[in-house]
């Protein structure tokens, strides 16, 4: 009895050489840029190709070049670098036991930061847990992010969420869910509401390629198609979903962007480590949405350079040091070299910037710690636990709150509650 | 005041709210042009337009997911799930997202959704058109759960649900859409006209969520129930000439335990009745809460009449349904019970 | 405040002229037939085109002609006609109150009957409620189907299911679910198991175009793609889902078959009223699956000629008499004319066949009624209600069964229980 | 016999069954090459191949849907849902299909699935890694629902579940994967080695589904609980020097009411304890059933200790968790209770 069940192949396992030959590339500038009202079926090849702007020598080429001012590029570089430094610092902090959990976006900074710049401040963002660049680009103070990570007295979520599940109403960053993909149809519904109200703001959402397997991905694409919702739907294909290679999400010999035209919305496959390409693709999709031509599914081809989270050890399932072999490089390095090539940046300026940002992060961390940690006070009042289940507290929760208060009053004497 | 059946009363509630509040929208399968398979949304699309009364794809999870996003963006969606039996594909969005959005975001993001769905049996609908899944929602912190038993409450509670800033799962006992039902399938159908709760104001009013109602005052025994079974229980008590107090829960969450307990403290005996399957059902919570609160007043154990613990069996509907005779037997046994 | 929410247009509403200009057609014979191991991306145009064999003069043309023997065609015609006559009779029976509910497949007979002939007896079928042709072609006795409709003492489902929810273990027809689309991933799982066991049987499943919106559709396609499951996935696009036009399922300017290549499986769009085309497409997809090249999504373009079910009145939401205007005609009539054109059939033979089949159905009905109806005995024992919840009855169900028995014993005296 | 923790015991159960029965397969997210995020399937793919220990897409509904089809085609799938908090996308396939397949098809089609999923809190997992949703499965007719509290039962019950021809939802209290937990988060972690139930045979054996266990015999009061809370309750009773009988439900469906009732009839007092939120939880059914059966023996109302009716709050885990002090307080109050 022999199995003929096909199981997707994984290019390289621990101990083997990294092998990225499966990644279908096209040269920078090779993919045409159609007008934003192009018919969906004419995006099939865009969904299979790879929109790239930066070429091998870090020059911007081709029709997708967004021609951004050097100042914009420098801001983008700064925010990507800040994201990376913030990530590194928080990772180390978790290792030291100061926070319970962390998720880095190492290697994927362009996906978030470039998109944030291509969208308008009024556009509503529905991030996944690996989009800290969105929060940083939108100007959420680092201290606020850190206080969330610490679940301390200034935690924007009042201690209710795991680290990394940030949010901001004024900056239009939707509360992150620990359940994968659920925010995707919500983003589409948000966009439908904008259309119903006749408002110009659009929505944008992000999920990992692994999460495209979830039902909500399908619902989102379908509703976006049916109602032509003004939304930009991003799939961050960083090749891995914890230990599971993207082939198990349907990525074998197929692009994730192809789901767009499959369902009837535009699709774009983009070099996710190319700040300019991500910016250009997002701009195109946002214009398309705002002009009433509907949604675009953008696949950002990138690589998860680090572990899935602080609970994960990728050396168990993939070769160490794959990142240097990743054919699309490092987004920070590529934008830096582009700016240097333009004469708008230099190694010394970069080193100074790094130093400045390290200091910024360190200062923020010091400040955040003064508002408490999970283990050291001050702490949020545990009675907060009973609030916001409903707008007004019903009697059974009032009773439970009283019970806890009595327990804590009594427990001052005894052991743990 | 006009005589309305429950379908008309629910329709009127949405009509009133669509007119009062531009943020209110209605969405669901077949709800638009067609007016819904039970006609509950009849005429609303014609009146308010296809952008406010929206036909959707057959994707219950998508309907709720999109409606949450709409709620976050300032709308007050009223989503219809065509049958409660089809609500499970939306369970994740309801449980993991809708119920917890306010909580996890420290009240910064909220989605004031109402999810209407016809439930219950007695219409020869077989296992996929007869279920009563209120129990699997009532257990989920963050959801309000409501079931009216008559047109007046239906309209008033639906308006309250739409105005409520918390998510409300609104169950509609479809067996009594067109008239009360005393449990006898052989009897000619009754109409709501003439029933006191079939008199419904045409305009705006609301019935507060969180309050039980005394459907029939009495002294001898307390019957706690809701939906279709309110009428069956009243009929069963009448059959026996028993002075039962029939309490209509109406709001399953939040539960008006005070009203329930007051009745049980008065009568000393209590029967809990629902159509949903018995094991682990909502009735278990009623019993658990009441015995915790009223133990020392109880003259007998609290008994349950409920759907048998099987899927809803098409051919045996009237042996399955917790009808009048079953309630009668339970009441008789309960009245005789002594140590 | 003006809404810019796009809502799909519906070509004609009651009182308006039927308008089928939205149906994208291609002439019979125009679509090429690639080898069964064709790459998925090379099926994109097949998913957008329309595989047709019978031309305007009912002749079989082009590469998809399955070249079936006249006997096979006559059997197909007979089964389609039997399906239609059975449907009509059951519909009338429901009107007379003998059964509680019925669903006709009027106008869609080819979708089921031709597929049944293209598959092998060992292949496992996962029908929807509108595929009675599968049951008839596989030789389930009409009496058995009728007993199910009557929930009588010979009901194959022991009274547990609504009418139409047939099943057969020996004939490999999976139990039908009242929940839409749930059988789709199950069919894929069945096929995966066949592959795991190294068996050659494949699975085939059917759903309506409206049901493609369900999460299970997406799950099924994805799992079929990832594991290259040997399964034929059929979407019966009969234009309507109760009152909801196919545009609301994503059919606006898009084929449902396109979801196949979108996800990475082959896609075919087929004239569902062309017995030969359905046969050919199914054969192709089955060969592809059996040879280990994976699944195919076949969209059958057809028209729901009747009401959704006996609970529905389509004159409330679409023009009466659209069916005669339907551009793909009537599958029975087309195959009949084809056979006549071949000199293998005639109007008188057809009339005689109709008469014979009417008699067959009438006889079966008489026999079925002897086993009882929902209202007249004999009836199934209500104690059956407690069986098969579990393999062995647990104590709480035994207690409930006893309670019902006591109730019924006592109730002999009183009113309804 | 070997000392095993619960992870190893569960792994061993699957290992034994994969070896014994070629129809057994394992599937789920990260279960294959990686061996599962909790390492419960470690080494199984290497041993049995990628066609029997299958990594899947992140689609819980798809996993269960496909597994049902596999079950219909003669396999015995053991599906892992990575966290019980992520089981809701599969709720429709579980409730509408898996639970009812045997019934609706008059036992002609069946799918003998086991769905394993880690549940419960106490691991700083926040609201999406800490839930205890057993109640919304126990209410669904046609599902067996099981939760072990120690390695011996874990292996024996998992083997029984895999062999069972009915679907089993198998909850694994992850807080006690590596050692028993008495409710004190400050104490150094204990290991299963040395614990009597940490001694596990290496080969085949099974623990029948449908039987409760007396985790600690006693005369003064009955504590009915399951999973992690078994250990917390034993510790709380010990703190008080109270001769409590701690009953480990183990099998939530079918429920071994006889064992529970016998204990309550003996002691006259009963406390029900679980981590899941209180309102409408499984504990309500325990209370309802026991008061129906044992009313005349009860010397006090049956009390509950359970999770508060809120989502699981990350920062307040130890104020939320129904820990030892809370159980102690409840026991003390219960022992003092009199009319
Ligand atoms: C519904 C659900 N199932 C499973 C998980 C557990 N889980 C958390 S992250 C993850 C992998 C996600 O991978 P991907 O979508 O590719 O995103 P990435 O982490 O690569 O950014 C899984 C399986 C979850 N959070 N939610
Ligand atoms: C999950 C679910 N949602 C809703 C329904 C109610 N319903 C029954 S049939 C139907 C329309 C299905 O349309 P389609 O899939 O196109 O199949 P057709 O009836 O046209 O053959 C609907 C909405 C259901 N049975 N299951
Ligand atoms: Mg990923
Ligand atoms: Mg249809």
Q: At which of D171, D200, D229 does a domain end? A: D200
**Is the shortest distance between the CB of D82 and ligand 1 below 6 Å?**
yes
**Token code pair at residue B137:** 């929602």
Mean pLDDT of chain C: 96
- Answer yes or no: is pLDDT of D183 > 50: yes
B76-80 and B24-28 strand pairing: parallel
**Is the shortest distance between the CB of C308 and ligand 2 below 6 Å?**
yes
Are residue B117 and residue B84 in the same domain, yes or no?
yes
Q: Which atom of ligand 2 sits closest to the CA of residue C309?
A: 19
Q: Answer yes or no: are the C-beta atoms of C176 and B141 closer than 8 Å.
A: no
Surrounding ion ligand 3 within 5 Å at CB are A 208-210, 238, 241
pLDDT digits (tens, 9 = 90+) for D215-251: 999 999 999 999 999 999 999 999 999 999 999 999 9
Distance CA C38, CA C47 (A): 13
D251-253 and D144-146 strand pairing: antiparallel
Are residue B173 and residue B268 in the same domain, yes or no?
no
CATH of the domain at D187: 3.40.50.970
Q: At which of D200, D227, D257 does a domain end? A: D200
Taking CA–CA distances from B141, the nearest residue in chain A reads A389
Matching residue, tokens 């189907």: C145
State whether the Cα torsion A10-A11-A12-A16 is positive or negative.
Answer: positive
pTM for this structure? 0.98
pLDDT digits (tens, 9 = 90+) for B215-270: 999 999 999 999 999 999 999 999 999 999 999 999 999 999 999 999 999 999 99
Band the pLDDT of A412: cuts 50, 70, 90.
low
Are residue D119 and residue D260 in the same domain, yes or no?
no
Q: Identify the residue among D28, D40, D48, D59 best suited for mutation to test binding to A, counting A beta carbons within 10 A and taking the highest.
A: D59
Minimal CA–CA distance to D103: which of D61, D64, D141?
D141
Mean pLDDT for C83-94 is 97
Distance CA A28, CA A80 (A): 22
Torsion angle of alpha carbons D332, D334, D338, D339, nearest 10°?
Answer: 140
Could you tell which of D38, D56, D58 is best to mutate to test the pocket of ligand 1, judged by most ligand atoms within 8 Å of the CB? D58
Are residue B22 and residue B84 in the same domain, yes or no?
yes
- Answer yes or no: is pLDDT of C402 > 60: yes
Q: Answer yes or no: are the C-beta atoms of B27 and A196 closer than 8 Å.
A: no
B176 within domain boundaries: yes
- The torsion angles phi and psi of C373, rounded to 5 degrees, stand at -130, 175
**Is the shortest distance between the CB of A179 and ligand 1 below 6 Å?**
yes
B58 within domain boundaries: yes
pLDDT value at position C3?
73
For ligand 2, atom 7, the nearest C-alpha belongs to: C180
Tell me how crowded residue C351 is: count the other CB atoms within 10 A of its CB.
10
Distance CA B130, CA C160 (A): 12
Interface of A with B in 137-166 (CB under 8 A): 156-158, 160-161, 165
Are residue D306 and residue D230 in the same domain, yes or no?
yes
Q: How far is the CA of C299 from the centre of ligand 4 (A)?
A: 11
Q: Which residues of A touch C43 (CB under 8 A)?
A: none
B339 within domain boundaries: no
**Is the shortest distance between the CB of A211 and ligand 1 below 6 Å?**
yes
Band the pLDDT of C417: cuts 50, 70, 90.
very low
Q: Does A25 touch chain D (CB under 8 A)?
A: no
Strands in A203-208's sheet, in edge-to-edge order, are A124-126, A203-208, A231-237, A296-301, A266-271
pLDDT digits (tens, 9 = 90+) for D260-297: 999 999 999 999 999 999 999 999 999 999 999 999 99
Are residue B114 and residue B196 in the same domain, yes or no?
yes
The total of structural domains in chain D comes to 2
Could you tell which of A111, A234, A242 is best to mutate to test the pocket of ligand 1, judged by most ligand atoms within 8 Å of the CB? A242
**Is the shortest distance between the CB of A238 and ligand 1 below 6 Å?**
yes
Name the DSSP class of B190.
Answer: P
B206 within domain boundaries: no
Taking CA–CA distances from A308, the nearest residue in chain D reads D37
Distance CA C8, CA C245 (A): 9
Band the pLDDT of A376: cuts 50, 70, 90.
confident
Smallest CA–CA distance, residue A32 to chain D, in Å, is 33
Residues of B known to be catalytic: 129
**Token code pair at residue C340:** 């006549």
pLDDT digits (tens, 9 = 90+) for A290-301: 999 999 999 999
Are residue B266 and residue B238 in the same domain, yes or no?
yes
Are residue D326 and residue D255 in the same domain, yes or no?
yes
pLDDT value at position C412?
54
Q: Identify the residue among B101, B279, B282 best suited for mutation to test binding to D, counting D beta carbons within 10 A and taking the highest.
A: B279
Smallest CA–CA distance, residue C147 to chain A, in Å, is 37
Q: Does A394 touch chain B (CB under 8 A)?
A: yes
Band the pLDDT of B190: cuts 50, 70, 90.
very high
Let me know how many helices (H) and strands (E) chain D has, helices first. 12, 14
Rounded to a whole number of angstroms, the distance between the first and last alpha carbons of chain D is 50
- The torsion angles phi and psi of B138, rounded to 5 degrees, stand at -60, -25
CATH of the domain at B249: 3.40.50.920
- Answer yes or no: is pLDDT of A1 > 70: no
Sequence-distant (6+) residues with CB within 8 A of A322 are A12, A18, A20, A303
Q: Identify the residue among B75, B118, B316 best suited for mutation to test binding to C, counting C beta carbons within 10 A and taking the highest.
A: B316
For residue D146, the enclosing domain spans 2-200
Are residue D195 and residue D277 in the same domain, yes or no?
no
Q: So where are chain A's domains?
A: 40-369, 382-412
Q: Which residues of A touch D66 (CB under 8 A)?
A: none
Q: At which of D170, D200, D230 does a domain end? A: D200
Distance CA C140, CA C162 (A): 18
**Is the shortest distance between the CB of C58 and ligand 2 below 6 Å?**
no
Taking CA–CA distances from D59, the nearest residue in chain A reads A214
Band the pLDDT of A2: cuts 50, 70, 90.
low
CA distances (Å), A282 to each of A107, A119, A287, D116, D123, in order?
A: 19, 7, 8, 41, 39
Q: ipTM more than 0.95? A: yes
Are residue D133 and residue D227 in the same domain, yes or no?
no
Q: ∠ CA B73-B77-B83 to the nearest 5 degrees?
A: 140
Cβ–Cβ of D127/B104 closer than 8 Å? yes
Secondary structure of residue D273 in the 3-state scheme: strand
Q: Which residues of B touch D300 (CB under 8 A)?
A: 295
Tell me how crowded residue C92 is: count the other CB atoms within 10 A of its CB.
11
CATH 3.40.50.970 fits A40-369, yes or no: yes
Smallest CA–CA distance, residue C229 to chain A, in Å, is 7
Q: Which residues of A touch C215 (CB under 8 A)?
A: 215, 218-219
């Amino acid at each position: 009895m022999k199995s003929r069940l096909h199981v997707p192949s994984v290019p390289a396992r621990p101990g083997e050489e990294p092998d990225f030959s499966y990644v279908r590339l096209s040269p920078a500038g090779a993919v045409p840029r159609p007008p934003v009202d192009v018919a969906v079926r004419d995006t099939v090849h865009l969904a299979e190709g790879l929109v790239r702007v930066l070429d091998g020598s870090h020059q911007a080429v081709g029709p997708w070049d967004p021609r951004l001012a050097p100042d914009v590029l420098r801001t983008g570089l700064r925010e990507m670098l800040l994201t990376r430094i913030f990530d590194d610092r928080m990772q180390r902090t978790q290792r030291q036991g100061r926070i319970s959990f962390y998720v880095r976006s190492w290697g994927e900074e362009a996906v978030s930061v470039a998109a944030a710049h291509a969208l308008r401040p009024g556009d509503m963002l529905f991030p996944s847990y690996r989009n800290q660049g969105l929060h940083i680009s939108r100007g959420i103070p680092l201290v606020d992010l850190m206080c969330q990570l610490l679940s301390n007295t200034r935690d924007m979520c009042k201690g209710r969420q795991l680290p990394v599940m940030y949010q901001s109403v004024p900056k239009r960053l939707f509360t992150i869910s620990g359940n994968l993909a659920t925010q995707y149809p919500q983003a589409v519904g948000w966009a439908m509401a904008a259309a119903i109200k006749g408002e110009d703001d659009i929505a944008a959402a992000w999920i990992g390629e692994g999460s495209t397997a979830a039902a909500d991905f399908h619902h989102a694409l379908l509703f976006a198609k049916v109602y032509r919702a003004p939304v930009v739907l991003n799939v961050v294909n960083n090749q891995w979903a914890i230990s599971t290679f993207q082939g198990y999400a349907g990525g074998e010999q197929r692009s994730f962007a192809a789901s767009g035209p499959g369902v009837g919305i535009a699709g774009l496959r983009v070099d996710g480590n190319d700040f300019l390409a991500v910016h250009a693709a997002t701009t195109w999709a946002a214009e398309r949405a705002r002009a009433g031509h509907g949604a675009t599914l953008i696949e950002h081809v990138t690589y998860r350079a680090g572990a899935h989270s602080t609970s994960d050890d990728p050396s168990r399932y993939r070769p160490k040091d794959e990142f240097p072999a990743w054919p699309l490089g490092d987004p920070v390095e590529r934008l830096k070299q582009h700016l240097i090539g333009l004469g708008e940046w230099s190694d010394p300026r970069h080193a100074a910037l790094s130093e400045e940002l390290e200091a910024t992060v360190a200062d923020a961390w010091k400040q955040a710690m003064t508002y408490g940690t999970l283990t050291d006070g001050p702490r949020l009042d545990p009675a907060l636990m009973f609030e916001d289940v409903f707008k007004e507290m019903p009697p059974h929760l009032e009773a439970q709150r009283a019970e806890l208060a009595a327990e804590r009053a009594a427990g001052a004497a005894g052991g743990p509650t | 005041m006009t005589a309305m059946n429950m379908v008309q009363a629910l329709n009127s509630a949405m009509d009133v709210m669509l007119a009062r509040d531009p943020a209110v929208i209605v969405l669901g399968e077949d709800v638009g042009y067609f007016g819904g398979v039970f006609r509950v949304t009849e005429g609303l699309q014609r009146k308010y337009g296809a952008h406010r009364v929206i036909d959707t794809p057959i994707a219950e999870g998508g309907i709720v997911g999109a409606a949450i996003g709409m709620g976050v963006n300032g709308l007050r969606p009223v989503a219809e799930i065509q049958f409660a039996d089809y609500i499970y594909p939306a369970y994740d969005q309801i449980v993991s997202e809708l119920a917890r959005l306010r909580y996890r975001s420290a009240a910064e993001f909220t989605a004031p959704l109402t999810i209407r769905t016809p439930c219950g049996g007695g219409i020869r609908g077989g296992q996929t058109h007869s279920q009563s899944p209120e129990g699997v929602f009532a257990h989920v912190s963050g959801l309000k759960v409501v079931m009216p038993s008559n047109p007046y409450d239906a309209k008033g509670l639906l308006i309250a649900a739409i105005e409520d800033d918390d998510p409300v799962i609104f169950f509609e006992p479809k067996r009594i859409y067109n008239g009360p039902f005393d449990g006898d399938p052989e009897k000619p159908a009754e109409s709501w006209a003439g029933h006191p709760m079939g008199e419904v104001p045409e305009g705006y009013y609301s019935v507060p969520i969180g309050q039980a109602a005394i459907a029939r005052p009495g002294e001898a025994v307390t019957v706690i129930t809701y939906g279709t079974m309110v009428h069956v229980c009243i009929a069963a008590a009448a059959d026996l000439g028993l002075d039962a107090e029939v309490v209509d829960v109406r709001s399953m969450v939040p539960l008006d335990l005070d009203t329930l307990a007051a009745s049980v403290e008065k009568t000393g005996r209590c029967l809990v009745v629902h159509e949903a399957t018995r094991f682990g059902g909502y009735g278990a919570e009623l019993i658990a809460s009441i015995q915790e609160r009223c133990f020392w007043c109880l003259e007998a154990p609290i008994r349950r009449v409920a759907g048998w613990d099987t899927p809803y069996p098409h051919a045996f509907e009237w042996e399955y349904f917790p009808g009048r005779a079953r309630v009668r037997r339970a009441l008789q046994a309960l009245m005789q019970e002594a140590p």
